[in-house]
Structure 1
Amino acid sequence: MKHVGSCVLCCSRLKLKNEEKTYFFQWYFYWMVDLVGGYYDAGDNVKFNFPMAFSTTMLAWSVIEFGKFMGPELNNALDAIGWATDYFLKATNTPGFVFAQVGDPHGDHNCWERPEDMDTPRTAFFVSAENPGSEVSAEIAAALAASSIALRKFSRNIAYSERLLHRAKTVFEFADKYRGSYNDSLGPYVCPFYCNYGGYQDELVWGAAWLLKATKLPYYWNYIKQNIHNVKNFGEFGWDSKDAGINVLVSKLLVNNPAAKPFTLNADKFVCAVLPESPLVSVKYSRGGLLFKTSGSNMQHATAYSFLFLVYAGYLNKANKKIDCGGGVLASSWRLKNLARRQVDYILGSNPLGMSYMVGYGQKFPKRIHHRASSLPSIDQHPSKIDCKGGSTYYETQNPNPNLLLGAVVGGPNINDEYVDSRADFVHSEPTTYINAPLVGVLAYFKSHPS
């Protein structure tokens, strides 16, 4: 087997000749723009900037919180962040416009092609004052702000960090000034793939929270206070809903500050909604102990929630408190870490199937993941072009993928702890960047705290 590479974010990052200059056509605009870089969200060849930005935010947060435990892998994490932020600087370089996506998802999903061979339209889609997209713009602002903190903390490139922060401010201002969802202007292209179901208000507050952490400016604190009433889903966190993340982030920013009370109350509610022994629990668990929510790619919830639990456990330690979930259930810092550890252990093989859901880890792991570059032969093995439908035989075969996407975590088993190792079962077999990004910090912590 050929190794694709050991990826912090589990999707290809290639400088493709046919994408060095992307021709863009939308409404009455036509020009060339450099949108080289960035990440594909999962196993396809489309750059969806909304989940890509969230993945970048979470990778940066992983480094901010747990970079000191990453050892020699810290530089790799910083490099992965920089690959994304270089791209987002390009995507936000034209005043009044934010590029939201590169590639036609309908055409792309109709093909099974290597990234090097793709010939589907590389249309680039943007949001603007006339056609706003506050969620994608504010999430990019959050990614740039969080990345500026991570790079300032661990990198000597202070000038680049300041550049990211300056751009984060301008993009956030754009997102807030021209409010609206990209569902309305780009719906045929972003839906149903990454349609925004939770509204854009949470992204605006999320972006402000990261800018508050990066700048300490009262403006962003006042913005959060004035808009936090729009953030009501305290039990949700992921690429579409930032609510629980906002409360955990602000709580940690304001440890032992009375102003933190509404945020800590909602963060406590989040914990009580996830703890399996809590009378207020609203998520499900498999018999083997894996956290479940009703959506595809379930591992995204296990990794993102575990990350929040670890971060909030640090807050509980500093505040010297426990969470009262009622019914005699008190959640301590240790209990939050224990639940996060249980999720990680499950992902890495401590489950009823004895299977690791991280590609390349352990003796038993997914061999037929839903990922084009992994499943198709490499250029050195098959130099001739494989066209749109030419990859179908590789998609349909029962043979293992020829290229190992080392470190990628797939969507995972069903709630009965069952897993069918099939490319066609993409809900369970597809890896995503937003599964891996929060897991980076969690793994770094537990590697340094094995007991």
Structure 2
Amino acid sequence: MSMYGRDPWGGPLEICHDSATDDDRSRNLDIDRGALSRTLDETQQSWLLAGPGDQGRRRKKYLDIGCLVVSRKFFVWTLGVLLAAAVFAGVVAGIAKAIPRRHRPPPPPDDYTVALHKALMFFNAQRSGKLPKHNNVPWRGNSCMKDGLSDPAVRRSLVGGYYDAGDAVKLNFPAAFSMTLLSWSVIEYSAKYEAVGELDHVRDIIKWGADYFLKTFNSTADSIDRVVVQVLLSRLRLFLSPGYPYEEMLRTFHNQTSIIMCSYLPIFKSFNRTKGGLIQLNHGKPRSLQYVVNAAFLASVFSDYLEAADTPGWYCGPHFYSIEVLRSFARTQIEYILGKNPLKMSYVVGFGKHYPKHVHHRGASIPKNGVHYGCKGGWKWRDTKKPNPNIIVGAMVAGPDRHDGFKDARKNSNYTEATLAGNAGLVAALVALSGEGHGVDKNTMFSAVPPMFPSPPPPPAPWKP
């Protein structure tokens, strides 16, 4: 049996099986200590001689930007790229702004808009009194500066207002109708007026007429008290009668309006028409155009009312007609007035190339040459065969006869006289038809109309268990 025990798995039971002697180990240990000392000295020397950046290369630095941890090098590179892109975009934008752009010219205004500008100028030519600097009618001057003051029965200033037609006469009823119709058109189509740059102009026209009405109004008259009392007593029905006391009256007027709109349609033959298509609302009598333009405006605004109420049309008896039928009627009548007629003549002075040259108008027919003409001198210019020396732009004359005929004669007012009421209807119809879109301004008149149904109850309080 050997002096060394045996491992049952086949190895010796020694802790360290090494055949080297103690002298060998001691000698090797001295050699290893010297080598280790030299290695440590070299390492320390390299640390001391190394620069501060050399140590950083051996370890990457990171940045914590909240939701992401990135290396500092990548962050700086990304930031630089973004700044360069922003500078490049700014340079490109600056160059793009510096390059002159070719803007497309706006589309030419439609015939209705062109005629609207001219039709409003007629009111400037009809002004009486001290004219403003921006009146823009060079042949018109101050007139009738002593109205009311020279009358012993009045002794108050009645300077201002409008002349009704071709003569120097001021009539309140036609003027009131004209200002009311213009005001109605502004209420419904103020956006269209503003779009064509005429909103301030038409407001100034209305104010000029309204200021004159205030001068002619007598607030001290005894009859005014009785009128006010009658109005207040009639309003008591609203408190004494429950429900809707005027509902039946409203239905009656609504039915009448529908019947009038139906009468404009050619299929019912309620009114005759000329061969050229002009409706004869005054049954063939002279001065037909002032009725035609009012009908064109009513047809346009009625169709716009229906459209505002999301109603595609209305009934004429058992038959249903779309609102486009009414608009077509209005357009054909106005186009007739503007030149689409058998004579190819525009009945609005200054519109188109062929229009009346001998308008029955005192101011337009007498030249402004520094000479004062009395009544006898005025007859001379009325009876001359020469065209008017002054063009009264925008004046719609009385119009053709029932056979589409027209006599451009100054002495025949049934053909060539323009009126305040006629031009008011023309302006209203033109603004209703002008522009690309249709419809009234829902934020003007209809914004003040209360809803026809009760407001919903407030929501219940939040439920809690």
Fold shared per TM-score above 0.5: yes
**What percent of counterpart residues are identical?**
34
State how many pairs are aligned: 300
Aligned equivalent of 1:344: 334
1:342–1:376 distance in 2 versus 1, CA, 3 Å: same
* Counterpart check, 1:430 vs 2:417: yes
**1:324 pairs with one of 315, 319, 334:** 315
Letter in 2 for 1:63: V
- 1:195-238 deviation digits (Å, cap 9, x = unpaired): xxxxxxxxxxxxx9xxxxxxxxx949969x9xxxxxxxxxxxxx
The verdict on how the C-alpha distance between 1:220 and 1:49 changes in structure 2, with shifts beyond 3 A counting, is farther
Aligned residue for 1:6, secondary structure, equals helix
Cα pair 1:284 1:291 within 8 Å, conserved:
yes
CA contact (8 A) 2:119 2:396 kept: no
Change (3 A) 1:44 1:419: same
1:60 to 179, 183, 187: 183
**Contact conserved, 2:120 with 2:427, CA < 8 A, in 1?**
no
The residue correspondences of 1:359-378 to structure 2 (distance < 5 A) are 359-378=349-368
Hey, what's the Cα distance between the residues in 2 that align with 1:84 and 1:221? 35
Tell me, in whole angstroms, the C-alpha distance in 2 between the residues paired with 1:4 and 1:55: 13
**Structure-1 residue corresponding to 2:278:** 290
**Cα 1:20–1:352, aligned 2, differ >3 Å: closer, same or farther?**
same
What is residue 274 of structure 1 aligned with on the other side? 264
Residue 459 of structure 2 corresponds to which residue in structure 1? Answer: none
- Quote the Cα distance in structure 1 between the aligned partners of 2:238 and 2:365: 50
CA-based RMSD of the aligned residues comes to 3.3
Q: Does 1:260 align with 2:386?
A: no
Query: Residues 289 and 422 of structure 2 are in contact (CA less than 8 Å); yes or no, is this contact kept in structure 1?
Result: yes
Residue by residue, what CA displacement relative to the aligned partner does 1:307-358 show, whole Å, maximum 9, x if unpaired? Answer: 11111112222161533324x7533211111111111111111111111000
1:329 and 1:359, CA in 2 relative to 1: closer, same or farther beyond 3 A?
Answer: farther
CA contact (8 A) 1:291 1:343 kept: yes
Q: Unaligned stretches of 5+ in structure 1?
A: 97-127, 130-170, 179-207, 209-217, 226-253
Task: Give the 3-state SS of the residue equivalent to 1:357 in structure 2.
Answer: coil
The structure that has the greater radius of gyration is 2
Q: Which residue of 2 aligns with 1:7?
A: 122
More strand by share: 1
**So what's the TM-score if we normalise by structure 2?**
0.58
C-alpha displacement of 1:285: 1.4
1:33-72 to 2 correspondences below 5 Å: 33-70=156-193, 71=195, 72=197
3-state SS in 1 of match to 2:191: helix
1:19 aligns to what? 145
- With over 3 angstroms needed to count, the CA separation of the structure-2 counterparts of 1:47 and 1:221, relative to structure 1, is farther
Per-residue CA shift, 1:51-96, capped at 9, x if unaligned?
1100110111111111210131111100000000010111114421
Residue type of the alignment partner of 2:145: E
Instruction: Trace 1:67-216 onto structure 2 (pairs within 5 A).
Output: 67-70=190-193, 71=195, 72-96=197-221, 129=223
Task: Give 1:439 shift.
Answer: 1.8
Give, in whole Å, the separation in 2 of the partners of 1:288 and 1:4: 23
Residue 334 of structure 2 aligns with an amino acid whose one-letter code is V
Higher relative contact order (CA 8 A, sep 6+): 1
- Structure 2 runs not aligned, ≥5 long: 1-117, 131-141, 439-465
Paired position in structure 2 for 1:448: 435
1:37 deviates by 1.1
TM-score, structure 1 as length reference: 0.60
- Corresponding residue SS for 2:165: coil
